[in-house]
């Protein structure tokens, strides 16, 4: 929740973030990839925008980095999947 009338900028955005480190936490990832929407639907430096939700529903937010456990998998739609 924005609590001031100051204009939004990158510094204020970074300072407002609450970061969490999740270790061995089952999560659900929902996101998208687009080469045409950098800085619109994705961060300016990325073609990907992903949110996560812990399996227990207690934590949700943007995913900034991920390291999968050995054997971990991420499923993505097959090429040609109707979008």
Q: Which pTM was predicted?
A: 0.65
> What is the rounded distance in angstroms from the CA atom of residue 30 to the CA atom of residue 28?
7
CB 40 within 8 A of CB 18: no
Q: Using one digit for the tens of pLDDT, what is the confidence trace for 32-80?
A: 888 898 888 888 888 889 999 999 999 999 998 888 888 988 877 777 7
Q: pLDDT value at position 1?
A: 61
Give the residue carrying structure tokens 């999968």.
68
Beta bridge partners of 30: 51
Give the residue carrying structure tokens 């407002």.
16
State the maximum Cα–Cα separation within the chain, in Å, rounded to a whole number: 47
> What is the rounded distance in angstroms from the CA atom of residue 25 to the CA atom of residue 62?
15
């Amino acid at each position: 929740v924005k609590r001031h009338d100051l204009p939004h900028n990158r510094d204020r955005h970074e300072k407002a973030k609450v970061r969490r480190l999740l270790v061995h936490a089952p999560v659900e990832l929902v996101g998208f990839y687009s080469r045409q929407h950098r800085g619109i639907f994705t961060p300016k430096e990325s073609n990907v925008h992903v949110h996560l939700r812990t399996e227990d529903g207690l934590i949700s937010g943007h995913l900034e980095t991920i390291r999968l456990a050995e054997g971990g998998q991420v499923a993505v739609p097959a090429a040609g999947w109707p979008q």
